[in-house]
Structure 1
């Protein structure tokens, strides 16, 4: 850690301590997976406050409105943000995923149109990848888009028909980035395009999915003749697979450390509950808590190693992202189980105003091994593409 990095840490810590006060003090620790509905409007106000002071998009190049922070400084920012118990951000999909994708693949017109609004938290985004028949298997998408001219004097538009599912926060989003099949008759990853589609139009319907937690942060999104401009395709038409995979690479970048720091806060809450209820005195519980702490340190070290390799241009070894997904999903699911166990019988009863944090953690983490690529799919990818084992049968002929 350089002197410059230490000075940056002091700057970030001091700013957070000063500004997480007054109207924003009550937001500490709010939001995040399973709790995205909590104080959403207020947290968006906090995000806009961050933007006004230059604390959004900190890793973006300066020419695109960011701070151009080094990897080490981005890690420091995530660490200090978590240490301060600052609220979960509402603009993750725009800032951490779409923004870097537009910087890498977008036209100058697309960058000028969208990046300032993402940085200022003026427009929120959602991700149109998964479908009822294409969850972890993204290449199986069936949503279609075609260029249609309404008259000889107007530019053609993309007309989108299909369905997406498990679309996080679609009900609050202004735009959605969509993987759609734009070449009739194409199969698998061929003929896909990466489109930017406005949500506020007659051809888009959002249906919330009520979860076991009682909340609805996931949605189904139906496109029936939805339209978007011809030039709102990122990359070339038919090259959407490459763009989509690059976006997933950004998803597994430095922001994963922010996720793990959220895990650290959750683990701290579980330990505090165990001490309060007396279950901490059980040697078996203490051993499981210790294992959880060790597992968290292993995940952090592995994430830093992968990020460092990418920064040096070496590229992480094939399959490491899949292994990382397996590890954190299993770890988090078991933390949810441990959170319930340390509560004892009190954990079986909901409070009058809803679920406790431990109950919500337990219920939401049931999905960790499914969303973002199920454990089964991750293991199949590792087996076939990394270890070179025989391919899993894809069906039998009759």
Structure 2
């Protein structure tokens, strides 16, 4: 593992830091997805115009063609600068786009990738279904082949940003009678196509970012299938590897910032004198450092092999569970102030409520443990 940075990479870090210091918006991003869509698109376009979108994407599609190490540096500095979450652009930029880079045809790349980086096209993910959440091999949404089209029927749930999205990365069953991983395909679905119905879901934090999506004879051109018919499982796994690998670096940097703030708060209000609280804060500070070390190790492996592996599930799981414990501690340290919480407030209680989704989205904590046990530790498959 190489965790050092070259002089060129250090100069790049300075360049990132200088630009962010001068350009991070002063206004806060609105909390709700529908309210934030204009903010998200404008910020993404600003990043693109200045050359800070798609650091390691190919230059042919609007990226800078730099190394994954430089992408990591950018994400670290972005978080340190308290730059806004990219919000509705998350799916397209962090795993939809990278999945297209690895698996799509030239025509698909040429049409979609630059639009994603510019913030012109918003993507959502059509993976989870009622009865097939983390177990994607059980999905029932079907695509019947008619001529040069797929005719799609079924439903998806927990689809982030569906109600503001233009396109969807959709996994569906295209082979009649197929079971489990076989017979699945990964397709690009136009979210404005006839036959699509979207019902937003309000979270307990008060936000509306998730939605149910229903497909009633929705027609998708076969030319929108990525990686070929029947290869959807392989393509989907590359999607989730990106989501579970480098996609959480910013969260880790913010975790380091948050633990420092929590320690300062505990000292200021005297709660640091409680041995239980002091022990928990010290443990979480150590775990933040360990998590960053694991991430650097995973990045070194990506540099060597060219693609994230199952080790990304360790990082995904650790990041989510540590984040939840940090959020619980932040609420505890609020004391009586938490009584004044109201929906729409941007405070520790809001983060605590949002955090319940972090061990569910992108594969539940239980599924991550199955992956770690089977693919890393060589344990028998769970039944």
8 Å contact kept, 2:69–2:299? no
SS of alignment partner, residue 144 of structure 2: strand
| Counterparts in 2 of 1:271 and 1:354: CA distance versus 1, 3 Å | farther
Q: 1:233 aligns with which of 207, 225, 228?
A: 225
1:201-227 superposed Cα distances (whole Å, 9 cap, x missing partner): 231111111111011111111111112
2:364: which partner in 1? 374
Asked if 1:357 corresponds to 2:355, the answer is: no
Query: What's the C-alpha RMSD, in Å, of the aligned pairs?
Result: 2.2
- Return the structure number with greater relative CO, CA threshold 8 A, min gap 6: 2
Provide the rounded CA distance (Å) in 1 between the counterparts of 2:325 and 2:181: 35
| Counterparts in 2 of 1:262 and 1:321: CA distance versus 1, 3 Å | same
Provide the rounded CA distance (Å) in 2 between the counterparts of 1:354 and 1:385: 41
Structure 1 gap segments, 5+ residues each: 150-155, 394-398
Provide the rounded CA distance (Å) in 1 between the counterparts of 2:289 and 2:217: 48
| Counterparts in 2 of 1:334 and 1:205: CA distance versus 1, 3 Å | same
8 Å contact kept, 2:127–2:170? yes
Q: 2:333 aligns with which of 342, 347, 363?
A: 342
1:94: which partner in 2? 92
The normalised TM-score by structure 2 is 0.92
Structure 2 gap segments, 5+ residues each: none
Q: 1:331 aligns with which of 319, 322, 329?
A: 322
Q: How many residues align?
A: 378
Matches within 5 A, 1:81-160: 81-90=78-87, 91-149=89-147, 156-160=148-152
8 Å contact kept, 2:44–2:117? no
1:153: which partner in 2? none
Q: CA deviation at 1:307?
A: 1.4
Matches within 5 A, 1:289-328: 289-313=281-305, 319-328=310-319
Provide the rounded CA distance (Å) in 2 between the counterparts of 1:102 and 1:61: 12
Query: Does 278-287 or 171-180 show the bigger shift?
Result: 278-287
| Counterparts in 2 of 1:70 and 1:125: CA distance versus 1, 3 Å | same
Q: 1:76 aligns with which of 73, 77, 88?
A: 73
8 Å contact kept, 1:350–1:356? no
Q: CA deviation at 1:167?
A: 0.6
Q: 1:252 aligns with which of 232, 244, 265?
A: 244
1:287-336 superposed Cα distances (whole Å, 9 cap, x missing partner): 222211111111111011011012112877x7523333332222111112
1:61: which partner in 2? 58
Asked if 1:166 corresponds to 2:170, the answer is: no
SS of alignment partner, residue 368 of structure 1: helix
Q: CA deviation at 1:59?
A: 1.0
Q: 2:14 aligns with which of 4, 10, 17?
A: 10
| Counterparts in 2 of 1:180 and 1:293: CA distance versus 1, 3 Å | same
